[in-house]
């Protein structure tokens, strides 16, 4: 199974079950024009413990591996669980929607776009992907997050609300990282 097929299937399941979701991470970055290889699909969901069991039923063995208990616990504790497609090696990480002010804003601002050819779905707004990537960078220091941010800024330059990012960067303790990103972007020569 190709990543595109799996993403299409997952979105169909979520929308069929009326589960509020948004694609985040690398796949969302692809949706905004910065393609890179990935073996996982990250999705934020607003999921109750009852919905968790029903969602798991949509990923039957042997095509998928998912722990129903882990999914219900993740929904109850507001954590994450995953579904694995063993034949392809792809993994779907379902992360519970945050209930803090930024988490609520992030879910309210999601956008329906063409994520990949033939795959429409909801993704986090580019500003919220940037904020998430800054948080991941702060936690682990991986340059891939800064590259992803640069790619989003380049592909969506006129569409990124920098004041929104600056506001949440200040609120979430990410201002220094945001300042570094802005400096890097200003120093990068424009392509002709």
pLDDT, tens digit, for every residue of 82-99?
999 999 999 999 999 998
CB–CB of 42/24 below 8 Å? yes
80, 108, 124 - which closes a domain: 124
Q: Are residues 160 and 120 in the same domain?
A: no
CB–CB of 95/132 below 8 Å? no
Q: Are residues 117 and 45 in the same domain?
A: yes
Q: Are residues 154 and 64 in the same domain?
A: no
124, 157, 175 - which closes a domain: 124
Q: Which CATH number characterizes residue 54's domain?
A: 3.30.460
Assign 67 to helix, strand or coil.
coil
Q: In whole angstroms, how far apart are CA 96 and each of 45, 155, 178? A: 5, 28, 25
Residue 12 belongs to what domain range?
A: 3-124
Q: Are residues 148 and 182 in the same domain?
A: yes
Q: Are residues 52 and 93 in the same domain?
A: yes
Q: Give me the number of domains the chain comprises.
A: 2
pLDDT, tens digit, for every residue of 18-68?
999 999 988 888 777 666 667 789 999 999 988 999 999 999 999 999 999
- How far is residue 21's CA from residue 7's CA, in Å, rounded to a whole number? 13
Q: Model's pTM, two decimal places?
A: 0.87
Residue 192 included in any domain: no
């Amino acid at each position: 199974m190709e990543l595109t097929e799996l993403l299409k299937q997952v979105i169909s399941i979520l929308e069929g079950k009326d589960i509020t979701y948004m694609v985040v991470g690398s796949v969302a970055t692809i949706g905004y024009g910065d393609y890179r290889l990935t073996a996982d699909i990250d999705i934020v969901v607003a999921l109750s413990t009852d919905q968790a069991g029903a969602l798991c039923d949509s990923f039957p063995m042997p095509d998928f591996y998912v722990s129903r208990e882990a999914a219900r616990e993740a929904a109850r504790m507001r954590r994450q669980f995953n579904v694995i497609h063993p034949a392809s090696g792809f993994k779907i990480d379902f992360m519970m929607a945050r209930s803090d002010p930024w988490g609520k804003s992030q879910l309210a601002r999601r956008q329906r776009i063409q994520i990949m050819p033939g795959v429409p779905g909801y993704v986090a707004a580019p500003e919220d992907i940037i904020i998430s990537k800054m948080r991941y960078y702060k936690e682990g220091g991986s340059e891939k997050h800064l590259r992803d941010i640069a790619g989003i800024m380049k592909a969506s330059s006129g569409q990124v609300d920098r004041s929104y990012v600056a506001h949440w960067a200040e609120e979430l303790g990410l201002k220094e990282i945001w300042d570094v990103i802005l400096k890097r972007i200003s120093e990068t020569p424009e392509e002709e």
